Amino acid sequence: MSGKIDRRNFLKIMGLGGAGTALGGCDLPSTVTLEEGKEEVVSYLMPEEYVIPGVGVWYASTCAQCAAGCGIHGRVREGRVLKLEGNPDSSMNHGKICMMGQSGVQAHYNPDRIKTPMLREGGNLVAVSWEKAVGAIQEKLSAANGDQVAWFTGTLSGHQAALVSNHLEALGSRKHYIHEPINASVWQAVNKDMLGEAMPRLRLDKAQMILSFGADFLGTWISPVHFSGEYAKFRKQKRRGLLVTIEPKMSLTGANSDLWIPAIPGTEGVIALGIAHQLVKNHSKDMSSLPASVQGLINKYDAATTAKIAGIDEKRIQRIAELLVERSPSLVLAGAPVEGQAKGYASVAAVMLLNQLLGNIGQTIESQGSFPFNQLKAKTGGTSDLFSFVETAKNKQLSVVFFYGTNPKFTAPKAMEMDSALNDVPFKVAISMFMDETSMAADVVLPAASYLEDWGTHVAAYQPQQTAISMQQPLMEKLYAETRGFGDIVLDLLKVAKKDVYSAFADYYAYLKNAHAALPAEYKEAGMTDGDAWSAALQKGLVNVATGSMSLPVKPVSFGDPAPADSGGKFAYHFVPSARLGMWDGRHANLPWIQEAPDQITKVVWDSWAEIHPLTAQKLGIKNGSIINVESEHGTAKVQAVLIKAIHPDVIAIPMGQGHEEYGRYAKGRGANPLKLLNPVKEETTGELAMYATRVNASPTSQKEVVVRLGASDTQAGRRFVVTVPVEQYQRTEGA
């Protein structure tokens, strides 16, 4: 059998089943021919003779299921990728990946993948050839000028980010909208102002105590797998680390804390200032370097005032301050509930102020150091670009927009009028693996290869102790011949826009290989050829990067009073569009494993639900399983109520992820999308969407259904299943 084998034959051989595969396997080429007559790409690193039928071989790559950028190993057997595991060489995830990473194969093999390019003709999307689709795009691009072209993406990094930047630059546009509904944008903004670095390194393993204001670092915050590993170290210190969580609805992190305190979203900043007050007044922490306005705020929030606003016991605030002093160094974090307010910046700043007062900076908060390749750095985003996109689009200032890795039609609140904004963009190109809501609205849909079929490099925004560029390589032949890698698509656009530079590269692979060869000499072992170094990088799955050492200069930041102002009017309850590890922002709703995996806290599967405290439910006449209407100023969601004590009584939470109108058989028409209910409130300083600032009412309907969930009993019924022992006992036996 020749090395030139197309996908159809490739699959046919595999389709022969057991014996056929075993026999044919000897001849199976492990090479991927990207283009007839062009260079043959060794995609599996191993020469052909190493491919033994029946023996799985592991290849390194990078996970793209969220923006954390964990290194993965994929098990490949008989030309199919079967299972993903963490790359043990990656200091990000040390051989571990989360449930979303595990489910990556289901995105890759998803039955609802887009198989051909599509073009809107007479109102409908019809399958067309690549030539025709690209031709239509080029036609529109040539008619548009400068800022009329935009890219709208999720987090991008590595060479993909560089190519997109270059494409925009070549066209003379500055419009790159980056949108991630689950983000840490406000926190990053505060860090930028306070520490000079948006994403400092967090040393959970060195912290004696972590106080988390809604930062779900075990579940959905920045880099959950990395932080989980660090969390284990944090707990296994000589003196077991102490975790205290303050948040409106119990997150995975909250579920693992020694003390979980429910708080009304928006009061976290006040609580932080209340603790700061204690630190200054009772524990002689120095606040003289702080701006006068901040000193004023600290003075204002004594225990009684704080307790009144936040509804938390005074003693608790004093005790937390005491513990923070006692357990030094500590680490204080702020997550989505703190950020998602009109005064989110002030709240986060108040929280980060605690680190400053406690002297954690430089101890548990370190600098990442300077990353030498500026173009490859992660371009992170939040929700502020949703506002700017809608505004620009409505002013008819956009004529061509490329969408990739994000689904704004699904994630934008209804009140933002994203639908009409999209209508105002005359030509929309969606590069996607699936027909999600945004792709359905596009004029051209380009079928993207899955991340397991594609080349790439990734530089995670958050870098662990060892900074690295993570390599992404195809783990198998493309499932569908008509799909193309994202890098290849952008490169093809650049070949037109900037012909002189990019026409030299046959494809994205060649571009990447060339880029790797251009790395400085210290990135290659002595005596290695470029080719060997490239193979070594792929084999390892990452290229370690030496960062320049930097210290964190603590700058005084002044901020306003974070106390919530509005009363909510006729809407009585705070609304929390909570994030769950697994479903994420809804991008994984089409993966059956994710749908069938129970939510970590409520254990509900396959649906949306509203979490309500039993006391509140009793007041509203809602029972467990009642179908209720959750109504905000901008819409109503009909969901099932799940009564749970792990939520503040004034809060109603609906997890993000469900409520898709499109997105394949597993996601479509299931549950409700809480993001649609949100008020389009802007965070005052950063312009982010204040996601936790919406108020709702809930009312029962006459319907009631069984809550479909894992597990019949919430209690152990006297069994010795999970035994909890006091920390003193643990310290005696396993401690210092």
Partner 1 sequence: MSLENLLGNWSQYRKGHEEGGFHDYKHLWGMAIDLDICIGCNACATACYAENNLAVVGKERFEKGQAMHWLRLERYWDQNELDHPAQGASFLPMMCQQCDAATCEPVCPVAATYHTPDGLNAQVYNRCIGSRYCSNNCPYRNRYFNFYSYYEDSWPEPLNMQLNPDLTVRDKGVMEKCTFCVQRIRVAKDNAKMENRPVADGEAMTACAQACPTNAIVFGDYMDKDSQVAKLWKKHQVKLRLTKQNKENPELRGYRIFEELNVDPSVMYLERVREEV
Partner 2 sequence: MYNEKDINEQIAWAKINADVLRSMENPRKGYWLAVLICVLMLICAAFAEYIQYTTGMGPANLNNPHMWGMYISTFVFWIGMSHSGTLLSAILHIIHADWRKPIYRFAEAMTTFSLMTAGLFPIIHLGRVWNMYWVLPYVSDRGHWPNFRSPLVWDAFAISTYLSASMLFLFIGMIPDLAICRDNAKGWRKKLYTVLSLGWMGTDRQWRNFRKTYLLMACFLIPLAVSVHSIVSADFAMSIMPGWHVTTFPPYFVAGALYSGCAAIITLFVLLRYFFRFEEYMTTPIMEKTCKLTFAIAMVWTYLNLVEFCSVWYGHDIYNKEVLIAKATGPYAWVFWIMIFCGSVVPFTLAVQKLRRHMPTMFVVSLLLNLSMFFERWMIVAPTLSMSHDPHQWDIMYASVVQWAIVFGSFGWFGLLFLVFVKIFPSVSMYEVKEMVFHRRRHLVNEEAAARFHRRKDDSQTTTGEPGLEGA
724 binds partner 1 (CB under 8 A): yes
736 binds partner 2 (CB under 8 A): no
569 binds partner 2 (CB under 8 A): no
49 binds partner 1 (CB under 8 A): no
Distance CA 35, CA 668 (A): 36
Q: For residue 650, give the DSSP letter.
A: T
Which CB atom, from 706 or from 736, has the smaller least distance to partner 2?
Answer: 706
615 binds partner 1 (CB under 8 A): yes
187 binds partner 1 (CB under 8 A): no
431: tokens are: 């590069």
To the nearest whole angstrom, how small is the minimum distance from the Cβ of residue 582 to partner 2? 20
For tokens 């809550």, what's the residue? Answer: 707
Q: Which of positions 662-691 make contact with partner 1 (CB under 8 A)?
A: 665
9 binds partner 1 (CB under 8 A): no
Q: Which of 131, 522, 719, 724 binds partner 2 (CB under 8 A)?
A: 719
Which CB atom, from 323 or from 433, has the smaller least distance to partner 1?
Answer: 323
Sign for the CA dihedral angle at 441, 446, 450, 451 comes to negative
For tokens 């005032």, what's the residue? Answer: 305
Distance CA 341, CA 191 (A): 17
Distance CA 484, CA 501 (A): 21
Contact at 8 Å (CB) between 207 and 331?
A: yes
Sign for the CA dihedral angle at 203, 209, 212, 215 comes to positive
717 binds partner 2 (CB under 8 A): yes
- Which of 266, 260, 360 has the alpha carbon at shortest distance from 320? 260
Which CB atom, from 244 or from 538, has the smaller least distance to partner 1?
Answer: 244
718, interface contact from partner 1, partner 2, none, CB < 5-8 Å by kind: partner 2
Q: Which of 199, 323, 422, 491 binds partner 1 (CB under 8 A)?
A: 323
Contact at 8 Å (CB) between 413 and 634?
A: yes
Sign for the CA dihedral angle at 353, 358, 360, 362 comes to positive
Which region among 324-332, 647-655, 677-685, 718-726 touches partner 2 (by CB under 8 A)?
718-726
To the nearest whole angstrom, how small is the minimum distance from the Cβ of residue 714 to partner 2? 9
605 binds partner 1 (CB under 8 A): yes
To the nearest whole angstrom, how small is the minimum distance from the Cβ of residue 287 to partner 1? 25
For tokens 């989110």, what's the residue? Answer: 344
Sign for the CA dihedral angle at 563, 569, 572, 573 comes to negative
Distance CA 367, CA 475 (A): 34
Q: Lay out the site mask for partner 1 across 259-298 (x = CB under 8 A, - = otherwise).
A: xxxx------------------------------------
To the nearest whole angstrom, how small is the minimum distance from the Cβ of residue 257 to partner 2? 23
Which region among 8-16, 80-88, 182-190, 705-713 touches partner 2 (by CB under 8 A)?
705-713
Which region among 139-147, 150-158, 251-259, 552-560 touches partner 1 (by CB under 8 A)?
251-259
468: tokens are: 């690295």
Which CB atom, from 518 or from 717, has the smaller least distance to partner 2?
Answer: 717
The partner residues of 382 in beta bridges, in order of sequence, read 179
Q: Which of positions 223-282 make contact with partner 2 (CB under 8 A)?
A: none
Q: Which of positions 57-86 make contact with partner 1 (CB under 8 A)?
A: 77-78, 80-86
Q: Which of 109, 130, 371, 373 binds partner 1 (CB under 8 A)?
A: 109
Distance CA 172, CA 166 (A): 9
Cα distances (Å, whole numbers) of residue 276 to 123, 210, 280, 322, 414: 59, 15, 6, 11, 38
User: Which H helix or E strand runs over 262?
Assistant: strand 259-262
Q: Which of 712, 723, 725, 736 binds partner 2 (CB under 8 A)?
A: 712
Q: Which of 284, 567, 715, 733 binds partner 2 (CB under 8 A)?
A: 715
Which CB atom, from 205 or from 633, has the smaller least distance to partner 1?
Answer: 205
